[in-house]
A = this chain, B = another copy of it.
């Protein structure tokens, strides 16, 4: 593949957070009516002013700076003492041992971990099973390394409560067709569904049967709502620990995105490759930032419960507004802070509607096509926002749906 072709597939025009670089000439002539006033809400990412970083995180960062060179220059895979600390907590959280010396790497964000994990397992022509819809970078990562993507549908609209709706037959078909890596997020981004214990067990069994590696992005696995049970794939007895890499980080639930921290843990062989690559990609996660991991899984008592409670309240209010729009489908997210409503037919393309929302209602959402070619009629909202502003913003979205209804 020529380098121009390779990069033409890496479009970021609709990527979350890049809206400031978007042109709007294509939509201006299609706009109807006047702008809707209201507090701007950027649903492309969480609002860390409304949901502040973990208490004490800045102080721990400051202490890292005060440590000087020892904190600035760490092993490429991250400071040894911090890996030990985090490794123990991740073992307790996920229910399986973590080898802090050889089976854990600290990365610049979970994005950094995903990039390195895919780079360490996928090369030209390798077949990779990827869920649709799923985190938008998954597809791009596989394409960048010239792997062949075998899509597996997540039928979240049709699935009964308690199941994600992953098409397990399609997954087996992908393995049978030669996929040797399965990459997915749990909870799923963008739908917020959590895979059931049965589904995770089937995924693990199929991967084992076909000798595939699993990269599971558990970024949002701490932010789980009332009554939701969660299965850590890496903790299943039947799973060979060398076949799984689990990715997490404190950027979302803990609002620590400004420090760019992620971790990957599991397969020592894959982690070793990831470190070799990190040496030429970015050397290491910012040394001083690494110190902030000391606060992770050690938040003040009750802090996480309160964070979950507040997000659940926003979720429920937004769902009520969305479900009041004729023709909208919105499944209740079981974890994380994403809503992925499917909109009714409109008189303008759905991608244009996302632009109209931004231009006429100061509301930024991410088009569904970023997550699946079959989700063009959906939009993703990160509802980790100011509660009142978010409700008002979705009310404006509802008004605009009526204005542009087909």
Give A residues with C-beta under 8 Å from B: 1-3, 6-7, 10-12, 15, 17-18, 20-21, 45, 47-49, 52, 58, 61-62, 64-65, 68-69, 71-76, 80, 107-109, 111-112, 114-115, 120-124, 126, 137, 140-141, 144, 257-260, 273, 275-277, 279-289
Known: A108-B108, A258-B286. 7 other contacts (CB 8 A): A2-B123, A12-B76, A18-B76, A48-B72, A58-B62, A107-B282, A286-B286
User: In the complex, which of the residues A52, A123, A288 has the most CB atoms of chain B within 10 Å of its own CB atom?
Assistant: A288
Copy number in the complex reads 2
Known contacts A123-B6, A276-B11, A281-B281: does B49 contact A258 (CB below 8 Å)?
Answer: no
> What separation, in Å, do the CA atoms of A10 and B281 have in the docked complex?
12
Enumerate 15 A-B pairs (CB-CB under 8 Å) in ascending A order.
A1-B123, A3-B123, A11-B276, A17-B74, A49-B69, A58-B65, A111-B282, A112-B281, A112-B282, A258-B286, A259-B286, A260-B260, A260-B289, A281-B282, A289-B289
> What separation, in Å, do the CA atoms of A50 and B325 have in the docked complex?
63
> What separation, in Å, do the CA atoms of A69 and B384 have in the docked complex?
12
Query: Smallest Cβ distance from A141 to chain B, in angstroms?
Result: 6
Contacts of A1 in B (CB 8 A): 123
Contacts of A121 in B (CB 8 A): 3
Contacts of A111 in B (CB 8 A): 280-283
Partner of A260, one of B62, B280, B285: B285
B144 touches A277 (CB 8 A): yes
A280 touches B140 (CB 8 A): yes
> What separation, in Å, do the CA atoms of A55 and B17 have in the docked complex?
32
User: In the complex, which of the residues A121, A123, A277, A282 has the most CB atoms of chain B within 10 Å of its own CB atom?
Assistant: A282
Known contacts A257-B287, A286-B108: does B275 contact A12 (CB below 8 Å)?
Answer: yes
> What separation, in Å, do the CA atoms of A108 and B80 have in the docked complex?
21
B17 touches A258 (CB 8 A): no
The 5 tightest CB contacts between A and B, nearest first, are: A72-B258, A260-B286, A258-B287, A10-B276, A258-B288
Contacts of A11 in B (CB 8 A): 276
Contacts of A2 in B (CB 8 A): 123
> What separation, in Å, do the CA atoms of A174 and B258 have in the docked complex?
43
A120 touches B45 (CB 8 A): no
Contacts of A6 in B (CB 8 A): 123
Contacts of A58 in B (CB 8 A): 62, 65
Query: Smallest Cβ distance from A160 to chain B, in angstroms?
Result: 34
B3 touches A282 (CB 8 A): no
Contacts of A289 in B (CB 8 A): 260, 286, 289
A71 touches B258 (CB 8 A): yes
Partner of A120, one of B7, B108, B276: B7
Measured CB to CB, the nearest residue on chain B to A284 is B260
Measured CB to CB, the nearest residue on chain B to A283 is B111
> What separation, in Å, do the CA atoms of A47 and B70 have in the docked complex?
9
Partner of A281, one of B62, B115, B273, B275: B115
> What separation, in Å, do the CA atoms of A153 and B259 have in the docked complex?
40
Query: Smallest Cβ distance from A368 to chain B, in angstroms?
Result: 18
Measured CB to CB, the nearest residue on chain B to A7 is B273
